[in-house]
Amino acid sequence: MTSPIVLVIGCAGATYLFFSALLHFTQDNKEPPLLETSVPFISPVFGLVSGTSKYFIKLSLYLQPNRDKYKLPIYTLRVPGQRLYVINSLSLIQPVQRQIKTIAFAPIEAQAAKGVMGVGPAGNAIIGSDQMFEDDSYLSTFVPSTHPALSPGPGLDSINGDASNFLAKSLADCSAGGPKRVELFAFVRRQLFLATTEAIYGPKNPLRDPGLEQAWYDFEIGIMAHMLNAWPSLLARKSLHAREKLLIPAFEKYFAANSHLEGSLLAQCRYNHNTGHGLRGRDLAATEVGQMVASLTNTLPSAFWLVYRIFSDSVVLNECRAEVEKLVKIENGQRTVDLAQVRLSCPTLLSTWQETLRYEHIGIAARVVMKDVMLDNTYLLKKGATVMTAAPVQHSDPSLWGSTVGEFDHRRFIPRPGVKRTSPAAFRSFGGGTVLCPGRHFASTEAMVLVALMLLRFDVKPATAIGNWEEPRKNFPMTSSIPTPKDEVWVDIVPKDKHGWRVDFSATSKGVDMVVEDALPGRA
């Protein structure tokens, strides 16, 4: 009589052989090389769930059999019902970016509108229509419609100035109250949450309501459940309630009262684009939830890590503070600083911001293969598959960044004599091509202005027993490209002086040169 243990082992072995055969028999030899995993189809699922970016970094080091020290430029990863083509090589990213209709981001945007934003059937018929790839479609024209507000020029200067003025006033109020003990992530998050939403939505900003600010944080936690349609009514009930009962109704009321006319050019551009394509009422309001994701989800934790990296390292702190202090002008005891100059005249601070994004970034970019296509005349990509690029793979590659790639070097992005400069295309924190983040200038200016004001007005000291900085552990949410701190970081914020300050933000029509596209003529 066969023992149960033998039966279990036999079944497991038979299942493994079946999956292994299925894996190889359904893989075309023209596709990117198939990456062997311990349990076909199943192991990648556990790897992705446990930590997507770390998993891809681990897989990027996979050595092709019989080829020592050879990393695959692209490989196939098979999960149940899906092919994933994962790109390691920087040289293959640009060919992917050029094929915007055959290796497309639009279907993911359409799914986000339906799942994350909660756009209804009428709105989804507009956003996710069969004509989504046409030049005049909703998705094709959305980013260009925001260029007047987010590209270097008067619109960007206005929104940057409004955010900077809010931060200046908020931190002045904080300084007037004397020393404070705060949890650093909560402090930074609130400052930028309010500065961003005030700058965008203007004097009728619905998110001034603390209840709606909390509703945003409640909603944010459940974004992935909404995106995957993973029973959000059961698994993300609090998030769903925040979206449906609080956030969307608040934006409905905002637009119904024409409050956007008192808001930023960005709010008006988005409204005009949406209504021009036929969105109305609740669907119009729901799209604004998606815009909050774009404006807040990565900016807030990125700013926290910038603040932490600067104030926790005396060398970085002293260098960045010295740069910012050079911008201060003193006349008759009045101190004046033009915050527009922070993005133009503080190369060490800018480099520290870029290095923070390189060092902390965990983002994954995905596109859908719309029809069988040959990538770079070499690899067959099959219809329905997902093409993925993981910025941490490029950001941790020693061949791109040198032997110090694993270290935080705040001067890494400053040209240095005798040091070969890394290709600007290797910096992937804001994406690239048609999915290049249009809000990168705004987000970068906000973060650097916040830090500049803190450098000028405060000393920030760790509130630990022995007064030392302790780096927090990290959460790696699937909904963000930047980790959030897992541990609380309590600090004492101590005003440096009681001098009067005047804060300006001059019109410069300049952006922040963050990515390779910013250096190209005619690119915004």
Within a domain: residue 231?
yes
- pLDDT confidence of residue 65: 45
Predicted local confidence at residue 45, as pLDDT: 56
The domain of 418 spans: 135-361+396-519
Instruction: With respect to residue 111, please indicate whether it lies within any of the assigned structural domains.
Output: no
> Is residue 432 in some structural domain?
yes
- Return the structure tokens found at 85: 């083509």
The answer to whether position 319 is within a domain reads yes
Residue 410 lies in a domain: yes
pLDDT for residue 392: 83
Residue 114 lies in a domain: no
Question: Domain of 435: which CATH number?
Answer: 1.10.630.10
pLDDT tens figures, 209-223: 999 999 999 999 988
Distance of CA 366 to the CA centre of its chain: 13
Q: Which residue has the higher pLDDT, 355 or 418?
A: 355
Task: Please tell me the pTM assigned to this model.
Answer: 0.90
Is residue 90 included in any domain, yes or no? no
> What confidence category does residue 452 fall into, taking pLDDT thresholds of 50, 70 and 90?
very high
> Residue 336 pLDDT > 70, yes or no?
yes
Between 1 and 221, whose confidence is greater?
221
Token pair belonging to 475: 């959460």
Average pLDDT, the chain: 86
| Residue listed under structure tokens 């997507």 | 52
Flag whether 197 is in a domain.
yes
Is residue 413 pLDDT above 80, yes or no? yes
Sign of the alpha-carbon torsion through 279, 432, 370, 477:
negative
Quick: pLDDT tens for 478-506. Answer: 778 899 999 999 999 999 877 777 888 88
Please state the rounded mean pLDDT for residues 37-64.
56
Residue-wise pLDDT tens digits, 274-285: 999 999 999 999
Quick one: three-class SS letters along 377-424? Answer: CCEEECCCCEEEEEHHHHHCCHHHHCCCCCCCCCCCCCCCCCCCCCCH
Total structural domains within the chain? 1
Q: What angle (nearest 5°) sits at the alpha carbon of residue 237, between those of residues 117 and 48?
A: 70
Radius of gyration over every alpha carbon of the chain, rounded to an integer in angstroms: 25
pLDDT of residue 94: 86
43 or 509: which leads in pLDDT = 509
